[in-house]
Amino acid sequence: MSQDNAAGAERLALAEAWLAQDPDPETRAELAALVDGARAGDAAAIDELADRFDARLAFGTAGLRGEIAAGPNRMNRVLVSQAAAGLAAYLLERARPGETPSVVIGYDGRKNSAVFARDSAEIMAGAGVRAVLLPQLLPTPVLAFAVRHLDTTAGVMVTASHNPPNDNGYKVYLGGEHGGSQIVSPADAEIAAAIHHVAATTTVPDLPRGEFETASEEVADEYVRQTALVADRPASQPRVVYTAMHGVGWETAARVLAAAGFDAPAVVSAQISPDPAFPTVAFPNPEEPGAMDLSFAEARAAGAELVIANDPDADRLAIAIPDASSADGYRRLSGNEVGLLLGWRAARRAADVPGDSGPDGTLACSIVSSPGLEAVARAYDLDFEATLTGFKWISRAPNLVFGFEEALGYLVNPETVHDKDGISAAVAFLSLAASLKAEGRTIADHLDEFVERFGCFDSSQVSIRVTDLSRIGEIMARLRAEPPSSVGGIRVERIEDLADGFGALPPSDVLRIILEGGARVMVRPSGTEPKLKVYIDAVGTEGTVGERRAAASAAVAALEAGMRELTA
């Protein structure tokens, strides 16, 4: 038998074994059709089986995420059951004598979220873990809150956040000393090893199932109460449009806004209810072109002063403001712009309650987010910390009062939630808009005031998409072996390689290029997609607000052109 034939026979045997343990009739039927096609020599079916069975969906610090379909390299009930059993084994192994570990499980409105959550609860209960299922589909921040509120050992959120419609995912949090933050190394590798052991030694029908608890509505009620406290009582009522992007944010967000004293916003009715098909958006991410078109149309009709958008699991926030120069009449603020305004708000609030030695607290952001937050921290005598990307790191900054990352993630209430939270960020931003309106000012005015006080911090992002993943490694290796002396005509002052760690940062495949004039370029492989990501930041601090903006924008444009040339 040839090597190819042997590999094909082994793959078919794996597929047959998978079929025998798959409890989902939909994925079982589509896998059976692939197996039949492969046996008949269909090349497309053979390639598809290879893609599904020659690799396994990796469990990492972001948990699991992928397309719903059969096989170990997809999201499905078999993979989720193995993940639940592996996580249970991990928690039980680390429990103190006589202690019963616990987990709270949440789920959003995506396809199979509820069944994945129920499978997880039953299997973890069957393994001897106290399992608590949230009472209904809820936003990810409510699950993150529940880990701390219920004082559980761990939390699981079934969601693919803003991924394409047919994806789903499995996000893991740890309680106790971790404070309800997402997992970091080495927990990810240890959980992954436990999952692999389950997959290699047992089948899904052999996993015992037990009785789980259902949390009371009090969990969501308390989240609403505590999140409403993020806002000051409004002295004015901005006209607002809200969209849930076909996700689960609206019901909870509406309750929070009402509890905080805000009028009900106008809503994008076509997107306000959970719908796993996401019929009005090709990609349910507020950052994607066209995703907010319906919001802008509703805003024009309502004469809105602010557009608020949550992504489907409501852990991210997008903001748009009126802009006469835009064809839509509105402009979505960048994640950095929102983060800097919320960071400035947090710094002012921290300064209002100084300790014995002055203001106390830390502002934190990921290393690829705007350096403007450090300028704010310095101005208010606050600590600043730059972390690796992800709120698993940002949430762990000591004495945190605010954290953000440029990908629309904000942590405004670390006493309540140790993760990004698009609902608490929305009420904080609306509170800022209300206070400005009461003084006769707008968010656009406040952006000008930021530039006048701290400088203009402009930014851009370049994504170099590849078809061959080895190309990413080649580009990173070339930049390391032949470091540029200039980028886009701007002199390079130094290059910091984070591969072996840098300062307090753990090792990461990131290059940080520091350039003349305070500009910066960060280069790293994407953790979720086949592309290289380039983050560009520049600052203008001289002249008028307009001149500062022009200088920063010109530097960003030059750096973007230079990096495209260097990575070609």
C-alpha distances (whole Å) from 202 to each of 24, 78, 124 are: 18, 11, 15
Which residue's entry shows tokens 């009062």?
401
List 81, 102, 120, 161, catalytic entry: 161
Q: Is 185 helix (H, G, I), strand (E, B) or coil?
A: coil
Element (H, E) at 228: helix 218-228
Q: What is the dihedral of CA 193, 195, 199, 200, to 10 degrees?
A: 20
CA pair distance 457, 336, nearest whole angstrom: 9
C-alpha distances (whole Å) from 169 to each of 3, 164, 368, 370 are: 35, 11, 24, 28
Q: Cβ contacts of residue 242 below 8 Å, gap of 6+?
A: 250, 253, 265, 266, 267, 268, 272, 307, 308, 309, 310
CA pair distance 401, 293, nearest whole angstrom: 34
Which residue's entry shows tokens 């949390």?
215
CA pair distance 225, 430, nearest whole angstrom: 17
Please work out, in degrees rounded to the nearest 5, the angle formed at the alpha carbon of residue 87 by the alpha carbons of 81 and 91: 145
Please work out, in degrees rounded to the nearest 5, the angle formed at the alpha carbon of residue 323 by the alpha carbons of 322 and 325: 160
Q: Is 39 helix (H, G, I), strand (E, B) or coil?
A: helix
Residue 21 CB burial class (10 angstroms; 0-12, 13-18, ≥19): middle
- The answer to whether residues 240 and 298 touch, using CB atoms and an 8 Å cutoff, is no
* DSSP-assigned letters across all residues of 523-564: EEE-SSSSEEEEEEEEEE-SSSHHHHHHHHHHHHHHHHHHHH
| Largest CA-CA distance found in the chain, in angstroms, rounded | 81
CA pair distance 126, 134, nearest whole angstrom: 18
Phi, psi (degrees; rounded to nearest 5) at 187: -60, -35
Residue 334: active-site member: no
Catalytic positions, written as ranges? 161
